[in-house]
Every structure is written in C-alpha cells, then in structure tokens.
Structure 1
Amino acid sequence: MKSVKARVSTRRRAGWQTYALTAAAVTATAVAGARAVDADSAWYRNLEKPAWQPPSWAFGAVWTPLYASIAWAGGHALQRTHGRSRRRLATSLGANLAVNVAWNWMFFGRHSTKAGLLGTLMLDVSNAELVHRTARTDPDAARALLPYATWCAFATALNGSIAWRNRSDVG
C-alpha cells in the first residue's frame, strides 16, 4: 500500500503532466493555425472589411491569453474527471482544437470567406459543447473558457460581415 506522501506525489506529477499535455496541444493548435494565416496576402488585403474590425496586432494580443486560458481550463477540468467522462472531455477539447485550426485553413488557406464562416460557426458549436461539458465537472474551468467562446462569437460576426461585403467570393 502506498503511503499518503507517495499518493500526493503521484497526484502532483499527474497534475503537472495533464497541464503539460493540454499546453502542448494548445501550442500545437496555435502553431498549426498560424501557418495558414497571411494577413499581408493580396487576397486578404483586398477584402472589404467592416470599420469595427480590430487592428491586426490585436489578434495576437487577444489570442495569446485565450490560448493560455484554454490550456489551463483543459488541464484543470481533466484533473477533476475520471473514466468515461474524462475521455469524453478530452475528445471534446481535442475536437475543439481541431476546429480552431481548421478555421484558419478554411478562411486563409482556401482564400474563402464563406468556408471561413462555416468554420467559425462550427467552432461556436464546438465551444458551446466544450463549455457545457466542462461545466458539469469544473465550473471554474468552464468560466475560464467563456472569454474564448465570446471572442469566437465576435469572430463569427466579423467573418460574416466580411463574407457579406465580399459576396462575389467564389471559395
């Protein structure tokens, strides 16, 4: 039988590893998504955009803490779930990160405002599912995901406005 000290040490190590894994997954998402983004491309520069679009520097300033909050919330919630619930939460988080990356490739990679709009709508649905699933076991982690979901909803409105203004987009 393990001593109390050994069990606490094992839990701490597992906790650290969970945060490390969620941070690695989120970092991979950020890198993979950023590879598609080319805000200096002629295609993107020539799109008509709404006056309320934030300046380009704001996107990095916003995404950095949002990605940190996703990594923290994911690690925090995963430590508080077990068995099937943990697998489902991990799957939900992984799917959400995959859709997060996909939007960049759908919008910038395909040069398609319409595909981007579909991608960001899918991300909104995924965010709602992730927040709901997380809230069942870890309300603090779910609250930490709300700024991410809110920013993505704003991105949907922005993407929709750009798609509308550039209706001749064939992608």
Structure 2
Amino acid sequence: MKTFTHIIISMIPLGVGFLAGVATATGINDWYRYLEKPVFNPPNWLFGPVWTVLYLLMGVTIYRLLIKPPSPERSRAMRFFWIQLVLNGAWSFIFFNAQQLGWAFVEILLIWIAIVGMISTTRRVDKIAAYIQIPYLLWVSFASVLNGTLWWMNH
C-alpha cells in the first residue's frame, strides 16, 4: 500500500502540469500570439512535450525522496520540492491568465531559486533524484530569459 501511495504522490507534478496547461491554453491563442517576441522564442508546440518530460522527472524525484528513510535532509529536500512545484504551477496563471509579464518574471526567478535549493538539498539525500532536475533548471533558466525579454519588449 505504501508503494501505491508513493506512486500516486509522484503523479502530482503531472496534475500541476495539466492545470498549468489549461491556464496556458486560455492565453496562448489569444493575447500571447500578439506579443512582440524575440528571435529565440521557441515554437508553441515545443512547450507541451518539454514540460511533460520535466513534470515526469519531478515525479521520479519525489518518488525517490519518499522511499528514502525519514531524515532532516529528506524533509528539507521535500520542502523545496513542494515550494518549487507550487511556484511552478502559479506561473502560468500569472503569465497567461493575469497577463502580468513583469510579475511572472519575478515569480520565475523565485522558481529558479527554489529549483537550485531543491537540487542542492536533494543531492544530500539522493544524487540521481537531484541530477535529473538539471534539465528543469536549464529550461527554467531559458524560460526566465524569455519571460524577461517578453516583458521588456512588450511593456
């Protein structure tokens, strides 16, 4: 039963991704398409597959943390995990629904800090669980530059 619970919990990032996708879908074909965009803006179709992989990797990370024995280090890593996930889920609503590019930029910088914290604390508990989050950190680094550039170009 415990393993089943761990698997269910590890699917929560996909649920957050689904909700973020709903928020994104409402704005991407509306006001977003009219924004001035930088030359390095990826095509819209790329975001879904990339985020799906990243949310799956988040699920693997939380699963690997959950199966480790309880410890203060594991608790810190899990706190950072949940913080970054909540921030991640909120970004789409700030950017696409509220259309607040500046606040979304501030928020994505907080996500980046939380991801660094998650990787750093998770590394002390499970190196694999930490290292599989590096693509997420790289993507959010790119997304931060993109968000900041969109804000600068369109305010």
Give the TM-score of the pair, scaled to structure 2: 0.91
Distance in 2 between residues matched to 1:159 and 1:142, nearest whole Å? 25
Aligned match of 1:6: none
Q: Are 1:110 and 2:98 an aligned pair?
A: yes
Larger radius of gyration: 1
What TM-score does the superposition give when structure 1 sets the normalisation length? Answer: 0.83
1:39 has 2:25 as partner: no
Corresponding residue for residue 151 of structure 1? 139
Note if contact 1:78-1:89 (Cα within 8 Å) is conserved in structure 2. no
* Aligned-partner Cα distance in 2 for 1:121–1:131: 15
Deviation at 1:96, TM superposition (A): 1.1
| Deviations 1:106-162, CA, capped at 9 Å, x for gaps | 111111110110111111011011111100110111011110111011100100111
- What is the rounded CA distance, in whole Å, between the counterparts of 2:73 and 2:3 in structure 1? 17
Aligned with 1:137: secondary structure? coil
What SS does the aligned partner of 2:54 have?
A: helix
AA at the equivalent of 2:74? R
Task: Count residues in correspondence.
Answer: 153
**What are the superposed Cα offsets for residues 22-71 of structure 1, whole Å, 9 maximum, x if unpaired?**
21x11221122122112101x21111111111100000111111111110
Counterpart Cα distance in 2 of 1:146 and 1:71: 14
Per the alignment, in what secondary structure is the counterpart of residue 48 of structure 1? coil
Give the aligned partner of residue 13 of structure 2.
Answer: 26
SS across alignment from 2:35: coil
Equivalent position of 1:86 in the other structure: 74
Maintained 8 Å contact 1:81/1:137 = no
1:51 match: 39
Once residues 2 and 137 of structure 2 are traced to their aligned partners in structure 1, the CA distance between those partners, rounded to angstroms, is 28
Cα distance in 1 between the residues matched to 2:19 and 2:69: 28
Q: Offset of 1:14 from its aligned partner?
A: 2.7
Q: CA RMSD in A?
A: 1.5
User: Aligned letter for 2:14?
Assistant: T
**Identity of matched residues, %:** 28
What is the distance in 2 between the residues matched to 1:15 and 1:135? 22
Amino acid at match of 2:46: A
